[in-house]
Structure 1
Amino acid sequence: MRAYERFPLTDVESFSYFVVRDHGRAVAVLPVSLLRGLDPLRQLRVRYPVTGEEHGLLSHVWHCYDAWIPGATSPAHVAAVTGVMRELAGELGAAWYGFVNVPAGSWLRDTLLAEGFPAHHIEDRYQVDLRGMTRVDEFIAGARPTGRKNYRRNGRRAADAGVRIRVAPSEETDLAEVTALCAATSARHGTGSYYPDELFTGFVTALGDAACVIEVREEDRLVGVAVSLRDRTRFHAWACGVEYEVGGNYSPYPLLYTTSVAQALAEGRDTLEGGRGNHVFKLRHGLTPLSLDACLLPV
């Protein structure tokens, strides 16, 4: 959160932090951000009566795809947060307030619905349950038949092309080069501004050991990259970029996922978070979808 405050990757006007206390003891917390333009990924305007340019007070930030209220165990905790959230949104001149990227089937979603929030599906994020796995081959075996064949064929072709893969701390990589490839890939899907150059480089650097970079190189050329994040139990394939014109008959994208699984297993993580979007590939290649909703109300 400190890194994102220093290097906000979206147009954030201000950050606030809520702490719910019971007899002086902190029982729940929530970071929120006031955005100038509440819909940078263009996912809300087809589900809510918004242009997307309005100010919005939202849970955490769009770059976090896992909305929850840490510590909250009671509907009273959620009611306390949403009540203060509504008041603050009014004071700050926001048009909307609420939560984005709320997992379907979660206790938070059910509680927000009971409070009168709507829930509209906006995207799916993808995961791999690594518990019980020890080798990447076990992950590949769990993919659909076409996915299994593609992983194995792609690996052979990349090896024949002399592709080199490494996992490195962010300080040992050229983050300007990494950012450029991520931004170019994102731009193909209309969200190139999601990775602003200097802010993205600063943010990843500020994360320290919480981040690492997976590089796929063809000779000296960077053809695939994943900026990966770590938390206590999960390894996140958070931001990716790939070149579509490569020298060999392979794709860097599957290599990023098999390498991410290998690294997650080596670090003893329970889950690989595979990010949002690219549904056809991820369903075919062994990742499991988790539906994400937006729960917003006008101020």
Structure 2
Amino acid sequence: MTIEIITFEKFEDIPTDEYVQLISNVDTPAFYDPRFLKAAEHFPLLPPLRIIYFMAYLNGQPSAFMPCYLQTAQQIDPFGLLANTASISFSEQGTGLFSHVMHCYDTKIIATNDKKEHTGKLLNAQHKIACEWEAEYFGFLNTCDTSLITAAQASGMQTRFMLDRFYLDIVKKNNFELLVEELPADGRREMKRQLRRFSESNAKIIIEAPPLTTLPELVTLCQRTTARHGTPHYFPEKPLFDFVTCCGDMVRTFTVRQDDQLIAGFICFLEEATLHMWCAGMTYDDVKFSPFTILVAEAYQYAFAHKITRVEMGRLNTKIKTRLGFSPLPLFSIIGNPKEEFKL
């Protein structure tokens, strides 16, 4: 068995037919869709210093893929999670080579077969580039890929819990009404109360596929929301608009309008039978119901209507998400120091 690793610094330089062949033969998260990868390269939300894509070929056929981004500390760790969970600190000009971008919460190595062998080859390739580019750290963020975690630990890399991502397997539920009845008691009461308040209001929900007429307003609301939580740079308005537009038909928007004013919305991605509620903007001014809860309810109903089997709800805000039926899935960081011994 011969595995060859070829690197590219532009996604467009990867032969399209080879990449499509690869992802059509393996479970591939939305964050590895060509449209998402192109958006992350051309309209980055946390602009990297350099990008490199690793493609593996087994006996001449595309067999694995891994994107990596050379970034500053602020780009790698905008929420300060690594400093708290992995005790790493960058020098003033320090950089790291990591996969995937922070706006991805399902990092993995995409491989068709013999994942252990491919993972070892790709880790070696990543380590080599990290040394060449003088990165202080290299590795992976937001991963629950057990085979990747195992291989990284065997190589001497550090693995640490980062935070949870949240999901609900709709396929295990019969219908929306039963889903609500099966929520935790406080969530069930909250959902029913907010649905009642919403029905008594003059607000309405709008779901859009491209062209997204509400997107200019929605990205503004998303930026204001993240700024209100102390991370104004995480969803910059113009790049977010261009990023989402670049993602094309994989995008859906769920918005709430009251008195013709946008008061809440989610930017979502469709990944076959999964709906990703990826980015949110909310205002609670002069609103008598919870727009967050109402949009979650709408997402559940949308999932049942469109035969979606899983709803993903991103990271953070544990209390409200578990109350509304979502379950936590632990995500880990994998971190190596290029100057230390690498065992693979």
TM range (shorter): over 0.9
Whether 2:235 is the aligned partner of 1:195: answer yes
**Cα distance in 2 for residues equivalent to 1:289 and 1:52:** 33
Contact 1:214 1:226 in 2 (8 A): yes
**Cα distance in 2 for residues equivalent to 1:115 and 1:75:** 12
* 1:290–1:52 distance in 2 versus 1, CA, 3 Å: farther
Mapping for residues 15-34 of structure 1, pairs under 5 Å: 15-34=51-70
Determine helix, strand or coil for the equivalent of 1:9.
Answer: coil
Question: What's the TM-score, normalizing by structure 1?
Answer: 0.94
* 1:52–1:183 distance in 2 versus 1, CA, 3 Å: farther
- Determine the structure 2 residue equivalent to 1:39: 77
Determine helix, strand or coil for the equivalent of 1:140.
Answer: helix
Contact 1:39 1:52 in 2 (8 A): no
**Cα distance in 1 for residues equivalent to 2:249 and 2:190:** 32
User: Deviation per CA, 1:210-266, whole angstroms, max 9, x where unpaired?
Assistant: 001100111111111000001123110000111022332x11010111111222222
- Determine the structure 2 residue equivalent to 1:163: 203
Contact 1:127 1:288 in 2 (8 A): yes
Match of 2:293 among 250, 254, 276: 254
Structure 1 residue 169, shift from structure 2 partner: 2.0
Contact 1:185 1:241 in 2 (8 A): yes
Structure 1 residue 92, shift from structure 2 partner: 1.7
- Determine the structure 2 residue equivalent to 1:14: 50
- Determine the structure 1 residue equivalent to 2:332: 293
Whether 2:140 is the aligned partner of 1:102: answer no
Percent sequence identity over aligned pairs = 29
Determine helix, strand or coil for the equivalent of 2:119.
Answer: helix
Determine helix, strand or coil for the equivalent of 1:35.
Answer: strand
**Cα distance in 2 for residues equivalent to 1:10 and 1:153:** 38
Aligned AA (1:79): G
**Cα distance in 2 for residues equivalent to 1:43 and 1:187:** 18
Structure 1 residue 93, shift from structure 2 partner: 2.3
Mapping for residues 160-239 of structure 1, pairs under 5 Å: 160-239=200-279
- Determine the structure 1 residue equivalent to 2:38: 2
**Cα distance in 1 for residues equivalent to 2:68 and 2:181:** 40
- Determine the structure 2 residue equivalent to 1:120: 160
Match of 1:63 among 85, 103, 107: 103
Once the two structures are overlaid, the 10-residue window that deviates more, 149-158 or 112-121, is 112-121
* Paired positions, count: 297
**Cα distance in 1 for residues equivalent to 2:97 and 2:125:** 11
Structure 1 residue 292, shift from structure 2 partner: 0.7
Structure 1 residue 16, shift from structure 2 partner: 1.2
Contact 1:161 1:247 in 2 (8 A): no
Structure 1 residue 189, shift from structure 2 partner: 2.4
Which portions of structure 1, spanning 4 or more consecutive aligned residues, are displaced by more than 4 angstroms? none
**Cα distance in 2 for residues equivalent to 1:203 and 1:266:** 28
**Cα distance in 2 for residues equivalent to 1:174 and 1:152:** 28
Question: What's the TM-score, normalizing by structure 2?
Answer: 0.82
Whether 2:169 is the aligned partner of 1:129: answer yes
Structure 1 residue 51, shift from structure 2 partner: 4.1
Contact 1:11 1:36 in 2 (8 A): no
Contact 2:115 2:147 in 1 (8 A): no
**Cα distance in 1 for residues equivalent to 2:266 and 2:89:** 33
Contact 1:170 1:204 in 2 (8 A): no
- Determine the structure 2 residue equivalent to 1:76: 117
* 1:90–1:228 distance in 2 versus 1, CA, 3 Å: same
Contact 2:51 2:69 in 1 (8 A): yes
Aligned AA (1:24): G
